[in-house]
Structure 1
């Protein structure tokens, strides 16, 4: 991903330059080493000291300010990074690059570099749609520059439309995914289920559980980041659909069963992270049930056991289940692993309110059918997902 990468961030003179400070912070937090080149215009919006404080590196502005006399700054900067990111990239900067101009440190460095360059434009919606800007972007695209498209929304000029710099979190995520396109799951098809299901009682009520879908969504992001073609079957969730993931929205356990079975035969890896209802009402009432005196009894019946079906019909797939338990977590997990004919299982203790359902954190045990056991201490689900995908990828290479 971006951890350990050397990234040269070019900041040009637009109001969105303030977002570049947050972007530097996000990249640094993700483990990247960031150096910043600012255009003179950019310094009118934000100060070099802000970038220096966050990146812990010198900030470069003037072509003629040679900080190290043993090196030529723009050549050294051009050779240093794994890739260059221009954010925000104004219409003026894009035009100068497209026409081969080298009139400041940033454009001089860009002419001298051979590393990949990502461009995140930010400008007024009409500027973004101007034929000159479009032609310049097309020219850069033909040369291999990679664009991170701006978002839609309220712009500093007062217009609403496409042109605002994409949010720093999204830029980092897109960079991670692009960097991992040649990852270890390249060419693999991965099916992941996530979230809860909802089983209707009447027109206004349903049975569900506390699952938020966070673990499954993070697994989908991590698998996509590792280069896989990811198919996410998700129950109702408020989470944002991950980028570069094919998503299928379902509601009930039966709908999830049907969608997963339809996709199953074409998958290489299947990770069943959804918290599917074990029971559903025998009868669903189309109207709202009116309150009556006395107790209400609702008869329930079993839903289909999706994981059992997948285990029974497994061919080439590497099948991973989840076991959310409140006691005897390891023994119940091992029992499920064998009973459902799984290749591996992820076990977690949901009795701990600080982890598991609804939380951003989890603590799990990854157990394989061969008895290999790996524990992941309390961590953010994003970090756990990355480790689980790495474990699974390593296990699939054994076959």
Structure 2
């Protein structure tokens, strides 16, 4: 399933060592989707081929791919893959495979959204070849839609950074972020990082505090890698350092992503986000959440009671991965082997702690009415 050769899509904006990259793309020659195995970053660049639905599910569960928009796009390609495996499958069989895909991870609403969008596009197409093409085209459309949404998030979020830069007389704007809500999680630009990339490209002086983000270190492994490759000044910090930096005037604003946001503005994101929001509130600092509308769950109001929180393998707490002095990628045990560990993957930040939501349609307060004002088409059914 793995290869060492990377074949990027055309027309990509993000660069790594002057090479265009996306975390997922369609290989027209193989007729399959391929992804970066993000578990290996930043030390190795490994590519996985998604040949079967089981490959897609495994890639999602084991976090080859992670981040709500990317999970949704991968699930979308999973529907195509199901049809590629069995082009004459019945509608009932296809729905069954889609349900398997949607159950791969519970928290990010984008997974079900992406799968259902492709299913709807191809379910009533009777000619097998046409149905396969419809699934592929819809999956590709989702990829491009999410990339464009992230670009728009960057443009809208830019105004926040511009205003802080103006007030500081051009001095560096210090932004704190948690986990990885960059292009690795979102196909292009990222959500939380999109305003950062846009500001940097507009020659605004910024510096990013990057939470390491235990247990899998998506901040120190992935966000730091992304920002460094793009040339953005950044500093990795421990997960618990943010409050101290805020108290001492070293943070100007916080921008994070989200895996699911309720229609009333509660936000589920990587575990530890809630604590950053509390610290920001106590220090009168703006706390923004960047997200495409595909991440909004229009069916629920109360994030604390209604958003399912994934609990992952305790080994992710017990072990850390990195390079040894010989350059080998190794895992090492930190706590006593006999000590139990609990691994809650997400927490929920209540809307009252969120300064604003940065979406592809603009910035709004984290309230039901303000969210619906940006997305009035949802009023009829909500």
TM-score (norm 2): 0.30
Flag the structure with higher helix content. Answer: 2
Q: Which structure shows the higher strand fraction?
A: 1
- Return the TM-score normalized by structure 1: 0.29
Higher relative contact order (CA 8 A, sep 6+): 2
